[in-house]
């Protein structure tokens, strides 16, 4: 996410920090470079010009030029202005009631509305709500079936009707069903359309008038940059949507849409798609995104993902095992599963300050998890519980069963043994700490 933008901005700021003394002239030179970098990232040219102007106004002030670390101060100003550019603070979905609330998903063809609708439904269900998905896209082949399959996979009901039914009627009856079954909110997956298509635009305006949605979410493909911003402007003129969801942001190394769309439309980005999986959705926080763009990491989101993935009961069991030094390969599998729930490894590393830069060019292989699981699943229950019995013949059998080389099996067993020893030491230290409390701990 934003790799190109981050790398180029880091180059500009490195040069700036290397200057013996900052002056208006070298700040202006650096900001010309920043403007060029933003334009290359497909940021709207008016947005880039306005952004650089605001940064310059603050950066040439006496507080920056006379600071002990002027280079760092300029970066601080850029960080602050980036946050403002993207909206300042996260804005939640507006679902005030009375129930059922309606969220209407609109956008261009191929932007990813159906998948984003399912992601949103899954997230709201996890938060304690009972959403209903409504299949109102009658034009795209298999769109209704796709939503049914997605709904089934996340255990959320889907309202659909026979081919040829008017989309406005589908949405009205979906809303009636939600009232009867006490479901909330109703998420309308409308048909994708071109903003120049007057007939389709009239249809979506008709749906809005028929169901009075609490939220109209414009779904845009983050990879299309300026095209997404142009489409957003055209849609806003006719629909006055209330929020933006950017899809495929995990595949966008430039970031033009994320940096332009709020400034151009005045409407907040509320959610972003960060992977193809149905849990690949994140609330959009401008401050966290600005930190990622400037290579500062995003520890808060990393901690939130960890909290969502870690099972409290399993964590307590693990703590007990650490105290008694009885950590097994089955426990190791459980820990791997929790890490995998947090998302792709490269995304997790990007959130650790400095890790992205330190590991630049290093290929992070998520398939390594698959190999490790295959090796452990090829062990018997006894072998998983007591790895000490894993002699040469057993290791050969495990290698054959998991389809890997014996060296990989040996490496995993060695690493696991080192982990067990470390945990045993931790357990002993903890016992000593509890047995010999210092005066300041009492």
Structure tokens at 313: 């009961």
Distance CA 75, CA 404 (A): 48
Considering only residues 427 and 141, tell me which one the structure prediction assigns the higher pLDDT.
141
User: Confidence band (pLDDT; 50, 70, 90) for 434?
Assistant: very low
For residues 39 and 8, is the Cβ–Cβ distance under 8 A? Answer: no
Cα–Cα distances (Å) from 195 to 117, 210, 238, 259, 266, in that order, read: 20, 21, 9, 22, 19
Query: Which part of the chain is CATH 1.20.120.140?
Result: 3-85
129: pLDDT strictly greater than 60: yes
CATH 3.40.50.300 fits 102-294, yes or no: yes
Q: Comparing 40-44, 136-140, 333-337, which segment has the lowest mean pLDDT? A: 333-337
Considering only residues 8 and 18, tell me which one the structure prediction assigns the higher pLDDT.
8
Neighbouring residues of 291: CB distance < 8 A, sequence distance ≥ 6: 79, 297, 298
Neighbouring residues of 209: CB distance < 8 A, sequence distance ≥ 6: none
Please give the pLDDT value at position 395.
92
Structure tokens at 167: 């989309």
Distance CA 268, CA 262 (A): 6
CATH fourth-level superfamily of 304-433? Signal recognition particle, SRP54 subunit, M-domain (1.10.260.30)
Dihedral angle, C-alpha 299, 248, 359, 31, nearest 10 °: -80
Query: Which part of the chain is CATH 3.40.50.300?
Result: 102-294
Please give the pLDDT value at position 373.
85
DSSP secondary-structure letter at 366? T
Q: Comparing 203-207, 293-297, 429-433, which segment has the lowest mean pLDDT? A: 429-433
Please give the pLDDT value at position 359.
44
Query: Which part of the chain is CATH 1.10.260.30?
Result: 304-433
Q: Comparing 186-195, 202-211, 364-373, 420-429, which segment has the lowest mean pLDDT? A: 420-429
79: pLDDT strictly greater than 60: yes
DSSP β-ladder status, 269-273 and 132-136? unpaired
Please give the pLDDT value at position 438.
35
200: pLDDT strictly greater than 70: yes
User: Confidence band (pLDDT; 50, 70, 90) for 63?
Assistant: low
Distance CA 83, CA 262 (A): 11
pLDDT tens for residues 286-298?
888 887 777 665 5
Cα–Cα distances (Å) from 24 to 11, 38, 62, 66, 196, in that order, read: 19, 21, 10, 12, 46
Please give the pLDDT value at position 442.
33
Q: How far is CA 40 from the centre of its chain?
A: 23
pTM beyond 0.95, yes or no: no
Considering only residues 347 and 240, tell me which one the structure prediction assigns the higher pLDDT.
240
Please give the pLDDT value at position 441.
35
10: pLDDT strictly greater than 80: no
Domain topology for 3-85: 1.20.120
Task: Give the phi and the psi of residue 106 in degrees, each rounded to 5.
Answer: -130, 165
What average pLDDT score do residues 22-36 get?
A: 81
Distance CA 103, CA 243 (A): 10
pLDDT tens for residues 235-257?
888 888 999 998 887 665 566 77
Please give the pLDDT value at position 34.
84
């Amino acid at each position: 996410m934003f790799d190109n933008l981050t790398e180029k901005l880091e180059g500009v700021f490195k040069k700036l920090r290397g200057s013996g003394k900052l002056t208006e002239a070298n700040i202006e030179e650096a900001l010309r470079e920043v403007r060029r970098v933003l334009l290359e990232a497909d940021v709207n040219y008016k947005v880039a010009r306005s952004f650089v102007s605001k940064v310059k106004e603050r950066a040439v002030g006496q507080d920056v030029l006379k600071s002990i670390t002027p280079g760092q101060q300029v970066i601080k100003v850029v960080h602050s202005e980036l946050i403002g550019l993207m909206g300042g603070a996260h804005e939640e979905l507006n679902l005030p009631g009375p129930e059922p609330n309606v969220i209407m998903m609109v956008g261009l063809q191929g932007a990813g509305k159906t998948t984003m609708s399912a992601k949103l439904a899954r997230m709201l269900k996890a938060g304690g709500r009972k959403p209903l998905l409504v299949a109102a896209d009658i034009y795209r082949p298999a769109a209704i079936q796709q939503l049914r399959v997605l709904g089934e996979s996340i255990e959320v009901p889907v309202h659909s009707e026979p081919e040829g039914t008017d989309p406005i009627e589908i949405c009205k009856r979906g809303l009636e069903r939600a009232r009867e079954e006490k479901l909330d909110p109703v998420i309308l997956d409308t048909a994708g359309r071109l903003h120049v298509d007057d007939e389709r635009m009239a249809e979506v305006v008709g749906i809005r008038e028929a169901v009075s949605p609490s939220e109209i979410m414009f779904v845009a493909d983050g990879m299309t940059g300026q095209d997404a911003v142009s489409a957003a402007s055209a849609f806003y003129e006719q629909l006055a949507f209330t929020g933006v969801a950017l899809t495929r942001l995990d595949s966008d190394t430039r970031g033009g849409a994320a940096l332009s769309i709020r400034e151009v439309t005045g409407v907040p980005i509320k959610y972003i798609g960060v992977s193809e999986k149905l849990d690949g959705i994140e609330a959009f926080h401008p401050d966290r995104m600005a930190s990622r763009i400037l290579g500062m990491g995003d520890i808060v989101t990393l901690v939130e993902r960890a909290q969502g993935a870690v099972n409290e009961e399993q964590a307590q069991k693990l703590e007990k095992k650490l105290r008694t030094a009885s950590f097994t390969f089955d426990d190791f599998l459980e820990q791997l599963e929790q890490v995998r729930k947090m998302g792709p490894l490269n995304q997790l590393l990007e959130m650790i300050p400095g890790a992205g830069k330190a590991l630049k060019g290093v290929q992070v292989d998520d398939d390594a998890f698959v190999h490790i699981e295959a090796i452990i699943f090829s062990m018997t229950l006894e072998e998983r519980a007591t790895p000490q019995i894993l002699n040469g013949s057993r290791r050969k059998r495990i290698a054959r069963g998991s389809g890997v080389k014996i060296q990989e099996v040996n490496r995993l067993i060695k690493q696991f043994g080192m982990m067990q020893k470390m945990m045993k030491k931790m357990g002993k230290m903890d016992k000593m700490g509890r047995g010999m409390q210092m005066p300041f701990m009492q």
